[in-house]
A and B are shown apart, each in its own frame.
Chain A
Amino acid sequence: MTDTVLSVRDLRVEFHTRRGVLKAIDGVSFDIAKGEVLGVVGESGAGKSVTGSAVIGLIDPPGRIAGGEILLSGQRIDNLPPEQMRKVRGKRIGMIFQDPLTSLNPLYRISEQLIETITTHTDLSPSQARTRAIELLAEVGIPAPDRRIDSYPHEFSGGMRQRVVIALALCAEPELIIADEPTTALDVSVQAQIITLLKRLGREHGTAIMLVTHDMGVIAETADRVAVMYAGRVAEIGPVHDVVRNPLHPYAEGLMGAIPTLAGEEARLVQIPGSMPRLTRIPPGCAFNPRCGYRFGRCTVDRPDPLPWRGHKVACHLYDPASGPHFLGEGRTLAAAEKHEEATA
């Protein structure tokens, strides 16, 4: 594919702690194409945010990239020297953080922060940068940008500040934007505005967007494809509507079952029993096997590789022909596997 913006191959991130090596990311692979929005979901600690930090090269010590490759438009960036990586940040990859209230330096006018970023990455003079900054503010929907540009961050509301943060991420027209829980700290009504804005920017500029969130509603509304992460691994990745309606991986099924719907007839939401394993003690085989209702012998021994399946990629032995009678052949779904389990029990 020539229009692949981001390509992550078998990425591993480890944190060396006193209690041992913590595998925050363990063999994650995915691609994001130009103009595409990839949603990354999973519970806390699944490795969503660390993946984003790894891509932009901002993993805090003692964490480090232990293996794999990250390619930005075909160029490897995970092994760049720090100074060159700094030039990639902000210029080719923009990042948006969760809390717009704390993302901006409270002591500087937003004009100063915008101009600083623009002049860092382009040859524009400060006055040209100011003109560009006003354009950017207008683009992200800040009213009267030529007046508001000289305001301080505390003079904006939360939603407006997140718009400023997005403008800052857009300063150098990056190829990729990593949005780490961009709407979590905002009111629901403002959330929708920010999501609409992100979608529009991705469409108009062809920017690839990696949207990290635990909010399935946001993913369903925004993303083209979704990657479901569990214990530092990708459990399933596929087109968003497909994954939401017909999740293949038992964990994805559980996750979708836990989404409240207004039209739903079931009174109770389905919980996934148990909790995610500690990252220092991930069980052998499939990381999800202790909580999985479809577990069989192979699951506790072999680690499943992500295999293509009906346009998805699923890391589950149920979709591996080598699993023999447990293999869910064409046309069979998780419900069939359930019956099979009951019959053999």
Chain B
Amino acid sequence: MIAYILRSLAQGVLVLLVVAFIAFSMFRFVGDPVANMVGQEASLQDRQELRERLGLERPFPMQFVIFIGNAVQGDFGISYRQARPVSDLMRERLPATLELAMLSALFATVAGVGLGVYAAIRRDGFLANTVMTVSLVGVSLPTFLIGIGLIYIFAVELRWLPSFGRGQTVAIGWWTTGLLTESGLKSLVLPVLTLGFFQLTLIMRLVRSEMLEVMRADFIRFARARGIPERTIEFRHALRNTLIPVVTIAGLQLGSIIAFAIVTETVFQWPGLGSLFVQAVQFADVPVMAAYLVFVATVFVIMNLLVDITYVVLDPRLRGGRTLAK
């Protein structure tokens, strides 16, 4: 068990190193940052000084080692555009993105698993078929269109919910939360629905097909032959077996909710990491882009690790270490 987690962890570190290298390489290829930072009138000497201050004079491998060393300490340099430490910018934006993503993930998982189980149990029911048809829309419509549609209905026509921003937030230490004010909660509704909808439909369809598969298994038939009530069979025997493959896909999908909230954040002008990244791309703000890239990779590595641990919790066959039969 411990060895299993350590192995996953080692793989994660390797992935992070590779991503950090790619992120770092961007500094080389996305033009000369100094040209973007100083005005037209800056003298050659000013430029040279800036170059040295940014550490751009050192050899490439040396720069990479320093980059990694700083990154481990949470230091991603200084934003070219805003002339502030990238880590400060990220920290300001992180709560907005994490709250949005966590709520979306919760919404997508709870509703997705629930509806998926329902659609599997009432396979030919009218409601189940309706849900399946609607889910097809969810899978095929692009996120921004769903966002704009929701804004049109609930913000423009019905005027129930705000169409942009986080509303009022409350600061708890460096963390700002929109969960404690009414306007903050209202502002969350549409972005959460938009961001979670695709994942919801995906998880739902996955749960349904896996569940139908499991319900055909021999041990389900045997459980019926033992006279176990149908509800117990569905929720105790079938669901847990269903979740193992679902966790893999859902885990990575939830990672992508956190990492790629970019579109939703843009549509709703959400002050999160995604919009920070979009701005950074527009201005070739390489330190911010690099930091964002490393952040995304970290999210995926953590999600992957959680998925691996969940496997072990769900499936005793992976635990090992116990006495085996002769």
Given contacts A97-B218, A154-B317, A157-B325, contact A105 B223 (CB under 8 A): yes
**A97-B218, A104-B219 as given contacts; A120 in contact with B229, CB under 8 Å:** yes
Q: Is A58 an interface residue (CB 8 A)?
A: yes
Chain A interface, DSSP helix/strand/loop, else mixed: mixed
Complex contacts, B325 vs chain A, CB 8 Å: 151, 155-157, 160
B322 at the A/B interface (Cβ < 8 Å)?
A: yes
Provided the pairs A106-B315, A107-B241, A155-B322 are in contact, do residues A86 and B230 lie with their beta carbons within 8 angstroms? Answer: yes
Q: For the complex, what is the distance from the CA of A97 to the CA of B220, rounded to whole Å?
A: 12
A340 to B316, CA, bound (A): 67
Q: How many residues of B contact A (CB 8 A)?
A: 27
**A90 CB contacts on chain B under 8 angstroms:** 225-228
Residue of B219, B226, B237 ringed by the most chain A CB atoms within 10 A: B226
Q: Are B226 and A88 in contact (CB under 8 A)?
A: no
A199 CB contacts on chain B under 8 angstroms: none
Contact with B along A88-116 (1 / 0, CB 8 A): 11110011010100111111110000001
Shortest C-beta distance, A142 to chain B (Å), equals 10
Enumerate chain A residues within 8 angstroms of B326, measured Cβ to Cβ.
157
Tell me which residues from 295 to 317 in chain B have a Cβ below 8 Å from any Cβ of chain A: 314-317
B240 within 8 A of A: yes
Q: Taking the nearest CB of chain B, how far is it from the CB of A75, in angstroms?
A: 16
Q: Does A212 contact B (CB under 8 A)?
A: no
Which B residues touch A108, using CB under 8 A? Answer: 237
Q: Are B317 and A106 in contact (CB under 8 A)?
A: yes
Cβ–Cβ contact A117 & B226, under 8 A: yes
Residues of the A chain whose Cβ atoms lie less than 8 Å from the Cβ of B218: 97, 99, 102-103
Contacts of A165 in B (CB 8 A): 222
Can you name 19 extra interface pairs (CB under 8 A) apart from A97-B221, A169-B225? A58-B221, A87-B227, A88-B227, A89-B224, A90-B226, A95-B222, A95-B225, A102-B217, A103-B219, A104-B219, A105-B219, A106-B241, A108-B237, A116-B232, A117-B227, A156-B325, A160-B325, A165-B222, A168-B222
B residues adjacent to A (C-beta < 8 A):
217-219, 221-230, 232, 236-237, 240-241, 314-317, 322-326
Q: Which residue numbers of A lie inside 8 Å of B, CB to CB?
A: 56, 58, 86-91, 94-95, 97, 99, 102-109, 116-117, 120-121, 151-152, 154-157, 160, 165, 168-169, 171
